[in-house]
Structure 1
Amino acid sequence: MIDADLFRAVLGRFASGITVVTTTDANGTPHGMTVSAFSSLSLDPPLILVCVSNDATMAPVLAATESFVVNVLSATQEAVSRRFAGKVDDRFAGVGYHDGKLGDPVLEDVLASMQCRIVARHPAGDHVILVGEVVDAAAFEGKPLLYYRGGYAVLER
C-alpha cells in the first residue's frame, strides 16, 4: 500500500479540467460544488460520472436528488471554481445561471454543460460515484480551466 502523500503527488501529475456540479434540493434551492473528478463513461447511451466525497456538504443533497448538471469551466472562471470550492453561504450570489430542462442550475459563460438524470450511485471508498445519463448538453468556444499539481492552469496552444 502506498502512502497518501505519494498518491496525491502521483495524481497531481494528471492535468484535469474543472467542473462545477449543480443541482436543486426538494425545496428548489440551488446547490453547487467544484468537482475535478469527472469523466465520460459511454457514448451509447451518453453517460458521464462524477465522484463526490462522502464528507462534501453537497453529498446529502446529491443523495436525495434525481438529476444534476456538470458545468465545464472556462479559463476565465477561476473565481467561480474557487467560490464553489469554498465555504460560502450562498455560492450562487453574483454568479449567472439559468434553470435547465430538468430544473437544475446551468452556469453562464461555461465551455460546456451536461444536464443529467442520475441512473446509478456506487459507493467507492470515501466517495460515491454518480452515473448520469446526459439528456441535454451545450458546447461553446474558449479555453478550459485546468487543475495541475495543486493549482490552476490554462491550456497554452
Structure 2
Amino acid sequence: MDDRQFRNAMGKFATGVNVITTEVDGDIHGMTANAFMSVSLDPKLVVISIGENASMLEKVRKSKKYAINILSQSQKELSMIFAGQIKEDRNVSFESLADLPVIKEANTQISCEVVNEYVEGDHTLFIGKVIDLKLQECSDPLLFYKGKYTSLEKTEEAVM
C-alpha cells in the first residue's frame, strides 16, 4: 500500500480537534493535532503524538509539559491558525491552567507533565500525567473526518 492509501484509510476514523500548547522561555507555542487519547484512569494519563518534523516536538521535550485544548465547533479558525492554514497574524486569547497556557473557552483544557516519551516510526508519543483540567459548558465539538472539518449535524445527517 502507498502512503496516500494509508492516509485515506486513517482519515475514515472521525476525530476531535485539539490544539497542543506549551511554554518555553516565556514564549507560547501551539499546534493543531488530532492524535490524542486517554491512557489510564489511575493514574490519570493521556498521550499525544507529534511528528518528527514538527517544531513543537522540541518545545515539548524542553518544557516537559503540555496542555490539550479540545476545541468546540465555533473554534475552527483557531485550529486553522495552529495548523498553519492561516498565515496572517491573529490574536489568540490564552489563560492559564496549572502554569500552562490554554486556549480561552476551549471545550476542555487539560494540563499535563510529561512522564514518558517514546519514539515510534516518524512520531514521538508523549505520555502526560494530568495535573489539572477544566470543562466548559458543553458545546458541540470540532470534528475532522476524511481530511475535512465536519460537525455532529453533518455526521448525523449522513447516518440517517
TM-score, with length taken from structure 1: 0.92
For 1:7-156, list aligned pairs within 5 A. 7-25=6-24, 27-86=25-84, 93-101=90-98, 103-140=99-136, 141-156=138-153
Amino acid at match of 1:94: N
- For structure 2, list consecutive stretches of 5 or more residues without a partner in the other structure: none
The answer to which structure has the higher helix fraction is: 2
Amino acid at match of 2:97: G
Q: Secondary structure at the match of 1:31?
A: strand
Amino acid at match of 1:148: Y
The question of whether the paired residues in 1 share the 8 Å contact of 2:39 and 2:47 is answered with: yes
CA shift, 1:90, in A, is: 8.8
Aligned to 1:6: 5
The count of corresponding residues between Structure 1 and Structure 2 is 153
- For structure 1, list consecutive stretches of 5 or more residues without a partner in the other structure: none
Once residues 116 and 49 of structure 1 are traced to their aligned partners in structure 2, the CA distance between those partners, rounded to angstroms, is 10
CA shift, 1:99, in A, is: 2.0
Q: Secondary structure at the match of 2:73?
A: coil
The question of whether the paired residues in 1 share the 8 Å contact of 2:70 and 2:109 is answered with: yes
Once residues 14 and 31 of structure 2 are traced to their aligned partners in structure 1, the CA distance between those partners, rounded to angstroms, is 19
Q: How well do the aligned residues superpose, as a CA RMSD in angstroms?
A: 1.6
Once residues 108 and 65 of structure 1 are traced to their aligned partners in structure 2, the CA distance between those partners, rounded to angstroms, is 21
Amino acid at match of 1:145: L
Q: Percent identity at matched positions?
A: 34
TM-score, with length taken from structure 2: 0.90
Change (3 A) 1:47 1:96: same
